[in-house]
Amino acid sequence: MLGQLTGCKTGSMAELNGKPVSLEDLERLALTNYGHFTSMRMEDGTIRGLSLHMDRLARDCRIVFGVELDREQTLKYIRQAAEGLTGVAGLRVTVFDPAIDMGRPSEAQDPHILVNLRPGGEMSPPPLTAKTFPFTRDSAEVKHIGLHPQLRLRREAQLAGFDDAVFVEPDGRVSEGGTWNLGFIDQDGTVVWPEAPVLPGTVMLLLRSLDAPRQITAPVSLADIPNMAAAFATNTTIGVRTVSAIDDVQFPQDHPVLAELRTAYAGIPGERL
């Protein structure tokens, strides 16, 4: 809640390397737009999948900047920004080099840690509808800050009367949603995660670690979608959200396996910051 966020030690919604962020720092980030991030949901000082988020930051830092992330120092910055907060908050950690030069990105080797706090939303918001588009995300395995293509397609989907976009590979395989992982439930009640280039989301990874319900990873083509019993979206902001339609294929808004997934996810304990 916004009132709780004012309890931040610095009175600021954003800190860079543990200090209030400057306009100059944000200007470089906005104008160059090179870096990576992760978004978490903090509930009373705990975060589900915190270790997975840190693994993502470390892995992407090697890919994007060619250096090792100082995990413990990054955690210290996160803890400092979140100190004194209670209830639910959204927490985003962006890694970028304020000294980057657009002409010499190869010299950007001193990534800084930007921590943003915002009010936390409700879990499992209303069902969403999605329109498919042929699209492959650049460096799909990296949670990078280059979001223009996804947001452009989300906009096109909304102008066509849908809530969001679903991406389809050149070979016809469905991959993921605009900023979320896509899952299906087949007629036997098995959870099917599409086998395609996707960003491995923390919610998806946590759910895949569970013993039940039965889950598989397999190619899902556009032609397979009408044969599915249900569909859903996952990310840390929404948890497990029903997808009620993809293009002209309608899905039920409730399904026993969806309820099972939500209950199982809610039962995963958060890690203390």
How many domains are there within the chain? 2
- Say if residue 215 is in the same domain as residue 247: yes
- Among the candidates 76, 93, 119, a domain finishes at 119
- Say if residue 29 is in the same domain as residue 113: yes
Q: In 3D, which of 179, 175, 157 has the Cα closest to residue 245?
A: 157
Give the CATH number, domain containing residue 171: 3.20.10.10
Label residue 184 exposed, middle or buried (CB < 10 Å: 0-12, 13-18, 19+).
buried
- Say if residue 106 is in the same domain as residue 153: no
- Say if residue 112 is in the same domain as residue 156: no
Q: What would you measure as the largest C-alpha separation in the chain, in angstroms?
A: 55
Q: Residue 262 falls within a domain, yes or no?
A: yes
- Say if residue 39 is in the same domain as residue 132: no
Q: Residue 232 falls within a domain, yes or no?
A: yes
- Say if residue 98 is in the same domain as residue 154: no
Give the CATH number, domain containing residue 59: 3.30.470.10
The pTM (predicted TM-score) of the whole model is 0.91
| Contact present, 231 and 117 (Cβ < 8 Å) | no
| Contact present, 164 and 117 (Cβ < 8 Å) | no
- Say if residue 111 is in the same domain as residue 231: no
- Among the candidates 90, 119, 148, a domain finishes at 119
Q: What distance in Å separates the CA atoms of residue 54 and residue 118, rounded to the nearest whole number? A: 19
208 lies in which domain range?
Answer: 128-268
- Say if residue 32 is in the same domain as residue 146: no
CA distances from 80 to 12, 35, 74, 107 (A): 11, 22, 10, 29
- Say if residue 195 is in the same domain as residue 104: no
- Among the candidates 119, 151, 167, a domain finishes at 119
- Say if residue 184 is in the same domain as residue 214: yes
Tens-of-pLDDT digits for all 273 residues of the chain?
333 444 444 334 799 999 998 888 888 888 888 999 999 999 989 999 999 999 999 999 999 999 999 999 999 999 999 988 888 899 999 999 998 888 888 888 899 999 999 887 777 689 999 999 999 999 999 999 989 999 999 999 999 999 999 999 999 999 999 999 999 999 999 999 999 999 999 999 999 999 889 999 999 999 999 999 999 999 998 999 999 999 999 999 999 999 999 999 999 999 998
| Contact present, 217 and 266 (Cβ < 8 Å) | no
- Say if residue 28 is in the same domain as residue 147: no
